[in-house]
Amino acid sequence: MGPILFAILILFGILVFIANIKVVPQANAYIIERLGAYKDTWGVGLHIKTPFIDRIANRVSLKEQILDFPPQPVITKDNVTMQIDTVVYFQITDPKLYTYGVDRPLLAIETLTATTLRNIIGDLELDETLTSRDIINNKMRIILDEATDPWGIKINRVEVKNIIPPADIQNAMEKQMRAERERREAILKAEGEKTSNILVAEGKKQALILGAEAEKQAAILRAEAKKEAAIKEAEGRAEAILKIQNATAQGLRMIKEQELSQEVIAIRGLEALEKVADGQSTKIIIPSELQNLASIVTSVKELAKD
C-alpha cells in the first residue's frame, strides 16, 4: 500500500499545483489575500498562489465601464419636478482601493450620482436645466471624480441622457414649439411672396422698358419710312413737273420754229374753247379778238365752197 499511497499523494499534489496556476487576462487584475489579509495585486500574466493559504479575493476589470442609471426625480429651483437619467463612464485605476475602499462601489456611485444631480438641478430653473446640459455634465464629473478617488475609481465623463419634464409642461413646450414653427413658416412664406412680387414687378418693369424701346424703334422706323416715301413722292412730283415743263418748253420751241400765223393761233384757241364747252360750265366768255377771228374763218369757209 505504501507505493500506491505515495503515487496518490504525488498525483494529488500535481493536481493541486495545477489548480493554483492562474493566468490573469489583459485589462484585468486579481486581488490576492493570504489568510484573510491583503497580500498582492496580480497583473497580466502567469501566477502561482500558495494552496490553502492564498485566495483570489477579487477579479477587477480595468476597462472603461458604463453605468446607466434609471430616471431620478429632481426638483428645480422654480419647484418643477422632472425625471432625469444619467450615464456614467468610469474606470478602475487602483484595484486594491476599489476592493477595500467601499462596499458595493457601483451602488455607491449610483447613490452619489443621484444626490449630486439633485444638488446641481436644485440651483437651476427649468429653462436653465433644459439648456445647460454641458454645464450639468461637467459639474457632475468633477464632483463624482473627486468623491470616488479614494475608491480607486476614475470618472471619465457623465452624460445627462434624458430630461423628462411633467406632462403639462411638455404640452406647453409643444404648443410653444408649434407656434414658433408656424411663425417661422409665416415669415418664410411672407418672404417668399415678397421675393415673388419683387421679381414679378421687375419682370413687368423690364417688359415695359423693352416694349417702350420696341415702340420707339418702331416709331423711328415708321418715321423713316414716311420720310423716304415723302422724299420719293416729292422726287416723283418734281420729275413730273420737270417733264411737263420740258414738254411745254419743247412745244413752245416748236411753235416758235413754225412761226404760226395769227389765224392758226386763233383756230387753236377755238379748239380749246370747244373742249371747255364740253365741260359742266354754263357760261363761256369769248374774247372779241376770237369773235372777229371766227367771222374771218366763216368767210374763208364760204369762199372755199364757191
Q: Are 71 and 158 members of one domain?
A: yes
CA torsion angle 154 159 161 165 (round to 10) = 120
Report the candidate in 287, 282, 290 with the shortest Cα–Cα distance to residue 266.
290
33, 61, 89: which is the final residue of a domain? Answer: 61
Q: Is residue 153 a contact partner of residue 92, using CB atoms and an 8 Å limit?
A: yes
> 210 pLDDT exceeds 80?
yes
Q: Is residue 137 a contact partner of residue 159, using CB atoms and an 8 Å limit?
A: yes
Dist. CA 48–CA 188, nearest whole Å: 75
> 277 pLDDT exceeds 70?
no
Q: Are 72 and 49 members of one domain?
A: no
Q: Could you tell me the CATH number of the domain that includes residue 136?
A: 3.30.479.30
* Residue 78 φ then ψ, to 5°: -95, 30
> 303 pLDDT exceeds 50?
no
Q: Is residue 137 a contact partner of residue 157, using CB atoms and an 8 Å limit?
A: yes
Element (H, E) at 34: strand 28-34
pTM of the shown model: 0.56
How many structural domains comprise the chain?
Answer: 3
Answer whether residue 246 is part of any domain: no
Answer whether residue 38 is part of any domain: yes
* Confidence (pLDDT) at 295: 57
Q: Are 80 and 125 members of one domain?
A: yes
Q: Are 21 and 94 members of one domain?
A: no
What integer best gives the mean pLDDT of the chain? 81
Answer whether residue 9 is part of any domain: yes
Task: Pick the range with the lowest mean pLDDT from 25-39, 127-141, 210-224, 267-281.
Answer: 267-281
Q: Are 98 and 159 members of one domain?
A: yes
Q: Are 22 and 91 members of one domain?
A: no
Q: Is residue 163 a contact partner of residue 86, using CB atoms and an 8 Å limit?
A: no
* Grid cell digits, residue 72: 431620478
More confident residue, 233 or 136: 136
pLDDT tens for 43-57 read 999 999 888 899 999
More confident residue, 171 or 154: 154
Answer whether residue 57 is part of any domain: yes
HEC letters along 38-106 = EEEEECCEEEECCCCCEEEEEEEECCEEEEECCCEEEECCCCCEEEEEEEEEEEECCHHHHHHCCCCHH
Q: Are 47 and 133 members of one domain?
A: no
Answer whether residue 17 is part of any domain: yes
Pick left, alpha or beta for residue 87 (phi over 0 → left; psi -120 to 50 → alpha; otherwise beta).
beta
Q: Are 150 and 74 members of one domain?
A: yes
Dist. CA 36–CA 125, nearest whole Å: 51
Answer whether residue 179 is part of any domain: no
Task: Pick the range with the lowest mean pLDDT from 85-94, 133-142, 146-155, 161-170.
Answer: 161-170
pLDDT tens for 75-92 read 888 888 888 989 999 999
Answer whether residue 208 is part of any domain: no
Dist. CA 126–CA 33, nearest whole Å: 51
* Confidence (pLDDT) at 80: 86
Q: Are 68 and 53 members of one domain?
A: no
Answer whether residue 44 is part of any domain: yes
Instruction: Give the pLDDT band of residue 59 (cuts 50, 70, 90).
Output: very high
Q: Are 89 and 155 members of one domain?
A: yes
* Confidence (pLDDT) at 272: 55
Query: Which amino acid, one-letter code, is at 6?
Result: F
165, 190, 210: which is the final residue of a domain? Answer: 165
Give me the count of residues in the chain. 306
115, 136, 165: which is the final residue of a domain? Answer: 165
Query: What domain range includes position 49?
Result: 2-61
* Grid cell digits, residue 102: 467601499
Q: Are 286 and 303 members of one domain?
A: yes
pLDDT tens for 111-120 read 999 999 999 9
Query: Which amino acid, one-letter code, is at 90?
Result: F
Instruction: Tell whether the torsion through CA atoms of 117, 120, 121 and 126 is positive or negative.
Output: negative
Q: Are 71 and 17 members of one domain?
A: no
